Each structure stands twice: as C-alpha cells, then as structure tokens.
Amino acid sequence: MLTPKYPTPDTAPVAPAPVATTDNTPATITPTRAPVAPASNRPTVQLTPGSALALAAGGGAVVLVVGAVLVSMLLAVAITGVSVALVAVVLRSLVKDLHNHR
C-alpha cells in the first residue's frame, strides 16, 4: 500500500555504437542546416516617438492616480486613529469622574 510506484523504463531504441575504422582516410562530413523557427502570426508592435510619449504620459498618470489613492487612504486611516484616540481619552475622563463622585 505504501510502497513507491516506479515508472516503467523508457523503451526508446538504443543507437548503435560507432564502429572504429582502421584506415586513415578522412571522413566526409555532410553539412546540416540548423532548424529555422517558424514565423510568428502575431503583429509586431512598433513604437513611434509620439506613441512612446503617449505611453510614458499614460504611465505617469497611472502612477499619480495610484499615489493619490494610497495617500488618501493613509490619511483616512490616520484621521480615524486620531478620532478613536480622542474618544478613548474623553470616555476615560468621564468614567474617572463617575468613580470620583461615588
């Protein structure tokens, strides 16, 4: 049940070993061509100076908008924290006054 399952060995045919020749004649080498990658069907994107400028301006605008959103969220958290701290101080003062009057 818990014994490992080993995959079956590959059944690829074994290439024959090269045969050594005893004569000193040079072997003829046939040149082979490297495989050529197929051409892509996707259109290539060409950036002109105007489109590069528009892309940079759009990226800058995105950075500014995201920065403004993050700063406003941080400011909201800070304001909420200060108000909660102020309410805690006021409640503590009220509770202290109630205990002093008894």
Q: What are the residue boundaries of the structural domains of the chain, listed by start?
A: 63-102
Q: What is the mean pLDDT of residues 76-85?
A: 97
Structure tokens at 30: 């046939």
Helices then strands (H, E): number in the chain?
Answer: 1, 0
- Taking every pair of C-alpha atoms in the chain, what is the biggest distance, in angstroms? 120
- Using pLDDT thresholds of 50, 70 and 90, give the confidence band for residue 20: low
Above pLDDT 70, what percent of the chain?
82
